[in-house]
Chains A and B, each alone.
Chain A
């Protein structure tokens, strides 16, 4: 049993993670309570991080956990707390009339991509050395990503940081209370 597991560690991890990913994604659509949906989404994020480790992307797996499981998920749960979903009028879960549209859209999308996917002959995977080496020297995945990121993609990197700044400013501006609203509130209190 143990020998079999050691010999087949990659398929075992892949299929476990794949089942978790799909189940989590289905849960996001299925659960009526947004908090349950968010926790289901968390399972998907963590399983995807596991898949990244299998694919020799250890650094991206760490980023995935820190940014998604740490940042985005906390943001989602925070907003749900702030909005207090329970006090809102009860949601009807699905738009029934749109269900056929969803099935057709999803089926069409899946068919087109799957056709492209399986029509191609299977090619062998390349060597993994480029994923862990910097100029022929074996260092690690993080070093390899950093080398390419800060050398070949410096300008896109700066642009993305600018995008983050703009997003932050936008979120602050939208989250702020309206000035007139604030003044009116003060007048009422006075």
Chain B
């Protein structure tokens, strides 16, 4: 029997993997992918609770979440293109112009 706990545990694993990836990787592109992992984990949570409570509102919020994730990806990749044009790198610690 698959209960909501299974889904919440899976979304927890996905979220944690995303956070760990954001901490240890320094490639900007990989970092954006980790953000997508985190947002996907949150979406699984919304969908699991929509099913659990028998309320479609959770699914509506999942739609919003996916939209925001797409917007975030577009902006982030725009930043990557600008960064590469400026510094010829996607390593985040090379982008240290504002370091005091």
Contact = CB atoms under 8 A, between A and B. Distances in A.
A85 B56 contact: no
Given A75-B74, A131-B51, A174-B81, A38 B2 contact: no
* Most chain B Cβ neighbours within 10 Å, of A44, A72, A148, A157: A72
Which bracket fits the contact residues of B?
Answer: 35 or more
A160 interface: yes
A5 interface: no
Which bracket fits the contact residues of A?
Answer: 35 or more
Question: Which A-B residue pairs are the 7 nearest by beta carbons?
Answer: A126-B54, A167-B71, A174-B78, A171-B78, A102-B23, A29-B21, A25-B17
21 contacts: A22-B14, A25-B21, A28-B33, A56-B51, A60-B43, A75-B77, A82-B81, A83-B29, A98-B23, A102-B23, A106-B17, A126-B54, A131-B51, A131-B54, A131-B59, A147-B56, A149-B60, A149-B63, A167-B71, A167-B74, A171-B75
Interface of B: 1-10, 12-21, 23-27, 29-30, 32-34, 36-37, 40, 43-44, 47-48, 50-57, 59-60, 62-64, 66-75, 77-82, 84-85, 88-91, 93
